Chain A
Amino acid sequence: QKEVEQNSGPLSVPEGAIASLNCTYSDRGSQSFFWYRQYSGKSPELIMFIYSNGDKEDGRFTAQLNKASQYVSLLIRDSQPSDSATYLCAAKGREYSTLTFGKGTMLLVSP
């Protein structure tokens, strides 16, 4: 059974701090990994994806992947109250397979 695990949170950080969101996955065949942000009452929206070991940066967001440890993380620098949302990690297996989602981590950024 493919599983993606996330701490449900909430993770509370002050405005301006770095928020670190973590995710582990069980399927070693997973090829790529996605981070979605979901505001309350809204649909998930893609933040970024990563498929190579190491870091990938996009603005204030950095995704990190360690396939040996089956670990993915998302760092949000200079956190803003508008970043308060649930962050969903998802893993994708071989080409054309579907995404398996974690249950998400709630992030609260306080002014």
Chain B
Amino acid sequence: DAGVIQSPRHEVTEMGQEVTLRCKPISGHDYLFWYRQTMMRGLELLIYFNNNVPIDDSGMPEDRFSAKMPNASFSTLKIQPSEPRDSAVYFCASSLNGNTIYFGEGSWLTVV
């Protein structure tokens, strides 16, 4: 079975540009999570969805970040405008019934 699929794997963008990260969860999973990982802060939960509905977005840093899940097989995380401090690895993850979480390969974002 395919795991969690993320795109792009790597993105370098200029400050002020819009960044869109995409995720396809494991088929049948009803929870989807967006995490951000940095050396300083470790893995931080940004937002999670249950059955396509956002449940907790308290980890979203600020209004520049937004996330959507229009259907069970697709989610996006958007940063507009991007800033250098947003440089990090963004992981999408999914789980069934909120149990074991499986991570995608991550999207490595560099904002210059």
- A associates with B: yes
Binding site for B on A (CB under 8 A): 34, 42-46, 49, 88, 95-104
Task: Show 26 residue pairs from A and B whose CB-CB distance is below 8 angstroms, ordered by the A residue.
Answer: A34-B100, A34-B101, A42-B105, A42-B106, A43-B91, A43-B105, A43-B106, A44-B43, A44-B91, A44-B103, A45-B103, A46-B100, A46-B101, A88-B43, A95-B98, A96-B50, A97-B98, A98-B45, A98-B48, A98-B56, A98-B98, A99-B101, A100-B45, A101-B42, A102-B42, A104-B42
How many CB-defined contacts (below 8 Å) exist between A and B?
Answer: 38
Q: Which residues of B contact A100 (CB under 8 A)?
A: 45
B100 and A43 contact, CB distance less than 8 A: no
- Least CB distance, A89 to chain B, in whole angstroms: 11
Q: Which residues of B contact A97 (CB under 8 A)?
A: 98
Q: A97-B98, A98-B33, A98-B48 are in contact. Are A43 and B103 (CB under 8 A)?
A: yes
Interface residue total, chain B, C-beta cutoff 8 A = 18
A43 and B45 contact, CB distance less than 8 A: no
Binding site for A on B (CB under 8 A): 33, 41-43, 45, 48, 50, 56, 91, 97-98, 100-106
Q: Which residues of A contact B104 (CB under 8 A)?
A: 43
Q: Which residues of B contact A101 (CB under 8 A)?
A: 42-43
The docked-state distance in angstroms from the alpha carbon of A72 to that of B6 is 31
The docked-state distance in angstroms from the alpha carbon of A49 to that of B105 is 21
Specify the chain A residue showing the minimal Cβ separation from B43: A101
Q: Which residues of A contact B41 (CB under 8 A)?
A: 103
Q: Which residues of A contact B103 (CB under 8 A)?
A: 43-45
